[in-house]
Structure 1
Amino acid sequence: MRAMGLMSELKLAVPWGHIAAKIWGPQQGSPVLCLHGWLDNANSFDRLIPLLPKDFHYVAMDFGGHGLSSHYGPGFPYYHQNFVSEVRRVVAALKWNRFSFLGHSFGGLVGGMFSCIFPEMVDKLVLLDTSPFTLDTNEIENMPSYKRKAIEHTLQVEASNKPSKVVSPEEMLQGLLKNNSHVGEECGALLLQRGTTQVATGLVMNRDRRISWPEHSLDFISRELFVHFIRKLQARVLLIKATQGFYGVRESHTDREDLRFVRSTLKSVLRERFQYMEVPGNHYVHLNQPQLVAGVISAFLQSKETPAPP
């Protein structure tokens, strides 16, 4: 397919600074908001969006504290619902009344929560190797520890006031690859293009150092609450699971049961509005091998909307 070039960069004003975003496609096209994963940035979609339908309008935003977006102010924590609130600010600034989501990993969790809180605004939700919510079944004993560590880590970083570490481009790339084995060298370099800033002696990370582990920010919910939220959905949902992705490499019995529960609930509640597909690849299949998911996403975005029951 003919490559679709980047239309422009965008900065949207928010009370703590700005949200940065990248735009592809005609402004009059059907809008799609693309949400990246934890510690990633909008470049996560650079290799996928050019393979999607050209008549849609794609906006890939950097979450606060990520990519080229402003960091939250001191004392303002990075909680799950704050990222959902960011999305509401962005679509209000864009004057979108109804749109679709394309969310990878943590971005899918944010899109899932938004789609249930503001169901009338979302017509399609594409989940790339993720779930609309994270179940508490495997983490409930750890949650007090997560919350404690989140508070202590934030206070420690704010108190230290250390300048960002400067490293060579090669060291930065190797550090990324060591911490994220699912990202290949070429794709890791692509994420670092937007995730770092060049200084005189090397590179510094753009992201807020208070952001560390997603468990510190996630909202874990019970199965009962999961069902309650999903019943609010009006959107059609496409869930793409990578065979060697997040669920593929987490082999515990509880993780497999959680995925089965998520699938069965989405199927039973949404019925014909739910579509599930497995593709070969790892958690970053949309970046490493975008051709494996582009076709099904394109067909899903172009499909006729099935109205949700009243």
Structure 2
Amino acid sequence: MPHNLVSEMNAEEISIPVPWGHISDIPGHGCSSHFSPGFRITLESYVTAIKRVVDHLQWKQFKCIGHSMGGMIASFFASIYPEYIERLVMIDCAGPMSIYPEDTIQFMRTLCDNLLMVESKTMNRSPPSYTYEQAVNRILTKRPSKLTRHSADILIKRSLIKNSDGKYSFSTDQRLKVDYNQGFTPMQQMVLIHSIKCPVLYLLAAENMFQKLPGNKLTRKMYKSNRNIQIVKVNGNHDVHLNHPERIADLINTFLFSECSKL
């Protein structure tokens, strides 16, 4: 549930009424286990994982919020299973993306080569270890979108595993460095986006890091052409929800809980 908190306040993990009593991450992220080895992770992999959880909890309908990759997965889920999503909030995401048919062979070859490269680098090797400060510094310097130190501390809490020597390793599945898009054609992409039937709030960061991606303008036009989708630009970068939650909390609350969802 979004809260209108200033960035200086301490972030606490949200308690949810489920047997395990805490937030679960999607596979390969945070405290969750990884997908089985040996294959590329795709959007479909995540939609299937989420559907398993939905079926287990016997949810008939629910509201969904996703940031970046999470927003892409959520929109893909809403396309394939539109009857399940009551309302959808997407925070600064870019897809699902498409490729032109003439680029298919190179796209597929690059995916295969990148997966094999990641596997060769990680197979039978222990992940690098860092002190906490070193790990935070990697987040601050390597992440494409600039984080505040406070935001980095929040984000990294669910991204580290403490080793026996007192140092830390990142828990993220390294296969996520390989593109998880599935090579849809623009026509397939249009069908997917227009299959979203629920009201959607698409919060687009003013300092959007996807602007230079091939096909980004086309994707944005497709979202604009779906009348169920409201696109609202917010001041900030890709991590505005962490750096400045007060800029989006009221927008999300209004959208999720008002009768008409008019902003």
Is the pair's TM-score, using the shorter chain for normalization, greater than 0.5? Answer: yes
Give TM-score, length-normalised by structure 2: 0.83
Amino acid at match of 1:7: S
Amino acid at match of 1:122: I
CA contact (8 A) 1:236 1:305 kept: no
Moved over 3 A (4+): 1-5, 8-12, 137-142
CA contact (8 A) 1:133 1:220 kept: no
2:167 corresponds in structure 1 to 202
Give TM-score, length-normalised by structure 1: 0.71
Q: CA deviation at 1:179?
A: 1.3
The answer to whether structure 1 residue 284 and structure 2 residue 239 are counterparts is yes
How far does the alpha carbon of each residue in 1:62-86 deviate from its partner, in whole angstroms, 9 at most, with x for none?
Answer: 1111110012223243222111111
Counterparts of 1:139 and 1:191, CA distance in 2 = 39
How far does the alpha carbon of each residue in 1:175-234 deviate from its partner, in whole angstroms, 9 at most, with x for none?
Answer: 122211422222112111111022223111112233324x2x222322211222233222
1:261 corresponds in structure 2 to 221
Q: How does 1:11-26 map to 2 (within 5 A)?
A: 22=23
The CA RMSD over aligned residues, in Å, is 2.9
Counterparts of 1:218 and 1:143, CA distance in 2 = 10
Distance 1:303 1:104, change over 3 A: same
Counterparts of 2:209 and 2:101, CA distance in 1 = 14
Q: How does 1:149-164 map to 2 (within 5 A)?
A: 149-157=113-121, 160-164=123-127
Distance 1:87 1:148, change over 3 A: same
CA contact (8 A) 2:97 2:215 kept: no
1:7 corresponds in structure 2 to 15
How far does the alpha carbon of each residue in 1:280-309 deviate from its partner, in whole angstroms, 9 at most, with x for none?
Answer: 100011111011111111111013379xxx
Residue aligned with 2:248, SS: helix
Q: Where in structure 1 are there 5+ consecutive unaligned residues? A: 13-19, 23-60
- Percent pairwise identity: 24
Q: Where in structure 2 are there 5+ consecutive unaligned residues? A: 6-10
Counterparts of 2:70 and 2:103, CA distance in 1 = 22
Choose the corresponding residue for 2:73, options 78, 86, 110.
110
More strand by share: 1
Aligned length: 250
Q: How does 1:37-186 map to 2 (within 5 A)?
A: 61-136=24-99, 140=103, 143-157=107-121, 160-180=123-143, 181-186=145-150
Counterparts of 2:216 and 2:172, CA distance in 1 = 32
